[in-house]
Amino acid sequence: MEDIRGKIKSELAAGDLRGYVEDHARSPHPYLETIRKNCLAHKWNFMLTTPDQAAFLYSHASLIRAKKILEIGTYYGHSTLALAAALPADGKIISLEHNPKFAAIAQSHMDVAGVAHKVEIRVGEAPLLMPILEQEQGQGSFDLIFVDADKRHFKDYWESGLRLLRAGGVLIFDNALARGEILSDTPGTADHIAAVREFNDSVRSDSRVYSYIATLADGMLVAMKIGS
C-alpha cells in the first residue's frame, strides 16, 4: 500500500515529524486509510482531517460516551467515520455538507465502511440547517459537535451549537490556528484569519464553556459546555 503519511496536511508538524505523529495515532477504523487514499488526488485534499485528528475525535466521543453527534463539513467523510466508529450501535451522527458531490462520495464511504446505519448526511447550507435541527432535535440533544467548515460562520455555529449541546457535551472547531497564520499581523490580514482570531478570543471569554486549543494539525479548539 502506498505510504501517504504526511502528504495531505503539514501545518504545525511538517515532513518527517508529521509522518511520525500520524504513525503514532491508532486508527479508529480500518477504512479511514482508504478514504485518505481516495482523497489524495483531489485538488482540495488539504481539507481532509489527519489520522491524529481522527484519533482525537474518536477518543473525545468515546470518553464522553457520545450517542448523538453533529458534524458541520463532511467532505469525503473521514472525520464522519472516525466519529461514527465511537458511537454505540444505536448512536447517530448527522453530518451537514453543502456540496452534493462530496455528500455522495462520503455516503458511499459510509456504506462500504459499514457504518451507514449510524450516519445521516444532510445536503444544504449549514447556517440554514442548524435552526431546523434545533426545532427538530431539540436543545441539549447532542453530546458532541464538530465544526470543520466555513470560518465566516463560526460565531453562528457556536451559538447554535451551544443550544444544541447537552451540559457536559463537547464542541470542537478545526482550524483554530488559521493554517499557522493566527498571529499574522500584516496589514490587510485576510478576513478569514481575522474571523478565526475574533472567534478564538470570544470563546476564551465565554463563561458557558471550559475551552482550550489543542495544537494538533491546524489547531483544534475544544470547549466543554459547563452546567448540569
Contact call for residues 137 and 166 (beta carbons, < 8 A): no
Contact call for residues 56 and 216 (beta carbons, < 8 A): yes
Among 17, 37, 88, 99, binds ligand SAM (CB under 6 A): 99
- DSSP letter (8 states) at residue 214: E
Site for ligand SAM, residues 122 to 181, rule: CB under 6 A: 125-126, 148-150
Sign, CA torsion 191/199/166/57:
positive
Among 22, 97, 143, 218, binds ligand SAM (CB under 6 A): 97
Among 8, 13, 32, 47, binds ligand SAM (CB under 6 A): 47
The Cα 149–Cα 156 span in angstroms is 12
Burial class (CB in 10 A: 0-12, 13-18, 19+), 185: exposed
Kindly state the smallest distance separating residue 136's Cβ from ligand SAM, in Å. Answer: 17
The Cα 60–Cα 62 span in angstroms is 5
Helices vs. strands in the chain: H and E counts, helices first: 8, 7
Among 28, 51, 73, 91, binds ligand SAM (CB under 6 A): 73
Kindly state the smallest distance separating residue 141's Cβ from ligand SAM, in Å. Answer: 20
Of 10-18, 23-31, 90-98, 184-192, the segment contacting ligand SAM by CB under 6 A is 90-98
Q: Does 102 bind ligand SAM (CB under 6 A)?
A: yes
Kindly state the smallest distance separating residue 156's Cβ from ligand SAM, in Å. Answer: 10
Kindly state the smallest distance separating residue 14's Cβ from ligand SAM, in Å. Answer: 19
- DSSP letter (8 states) at residue 49: P
Q: Does 33 bind ligand SAM (CB under 6 A)?
A: no
Strand-pair category, 165-173 with 209-214: unpaired
| Interacting residues toward ligand SAM by CB under 6 A | 47-49, 73-76, 78-79, 96-99, 102, 125-126, 148-150
